[in-house]
Amino acid sequence: MTSSNLAQNNIDLEDLYQEVILEHSRRPRFKSKLDGCDLCEEGKNPLCGDAITVYCKIQRNEHRPPCLSVCFHGSGCSISQASASMMCEALQNVTFEQAKKAIQNAEEIYTGKVSCSDDIEQDVQALYGVSKFPVRIKCAALAWKTMEWLLNHHFDESGSLKQKQEMENQSNTMNAKKKLKVISTDEG
Ligand code: ZN
């Protein structure tokens, strides 16, 4: 369909948003358990029953900052799944700084603070449609909040990984006992 057709048919933006979300939830990108991942965190949205694990692989570079790539696994409503899929698509080979920025931008979209931005992947902008339904914002937020928690937990403010010993303890704990963290997506 050409853009002029789109205009003629006056397709409702909300329908378009819904289509993008449905498409992602039907065919989620980067949905797999990542064996040998460097970091992972689990998040839950008890209000809806969404549960997502975010897996993060870190590619260390000699002269450049390390790059992160993310995939996810879990189950939940179509919004939580679609949002996780969009997030993983946005967070491939990104630096810590880029990941933080993407998470921040996405939050502005799904909370309805901004409706679009050139800095944000087009599909992620579809989450703006969710902002009109406060209960569903928590579904959209889950993957991003879990990823944000992972970054804050494992990296210091400058984007360097926290001490190795600390990380090893973390992964030992993770292997020994799967613990579910309840991510709160409440506003202020
Ligand atoms: Zn949900």
CA of 8 to the centre of ligand 1 (A): 34
How large is the average pLDDT for residues 50-55?
Answer: 97
Q: Answer yes or no: is pLDDT of 129 > 60.
A: yes
How large is the average pLDDT for residues 104-109?
Answer: 96
Rg (CA), the chain: 17
How large is the average pLDDT for residues 16-27?
Answer: 91
| Size (the chain), residues | 188
CA of 11 to the centre of ligand 1 (A): 26
CA of 14 to the centre of ligand 1 (A): 19
CA of 137 to the centre of ligand 1 (A): 8
Residue 187 has what pLDDT? 46
Residue 184 has what pLDDT? 55
Distance CA 68, CA 57 (A): 6
CA of 143 to the centre of ligand 1 (A): 11
The whole-model pTM stands at 0.81
Alpha-carbon distances, residue 116 vs 69, 86, 128 (angstroms) = 24, 15, 8
8 A C-beta contact, residue 105 and residue 119: yes
Residue 64 is which amino acid? R
The two structure tokens encoding residue 132: 């009109």
CA of 5 to the centre of ligand 1 (A): 34
CA of 107 to the centre of ligand 1 (A): 16
Residue from 72, 182, 89, 76 nearest 139 by CA: 76
The two structure tokens encoding residue 86: 């969009």
CA of 76 to the centre of ligand 1 (A): 6
Using the CB atoms, write b or e for 118-142: b if 16+ within 10 Å: eebbebbbbbbbbbeeeebbbbbbb
Distance CA 176, CA 185 (A): 27
CA of 166 to the centre of ligand 1 (A): 33
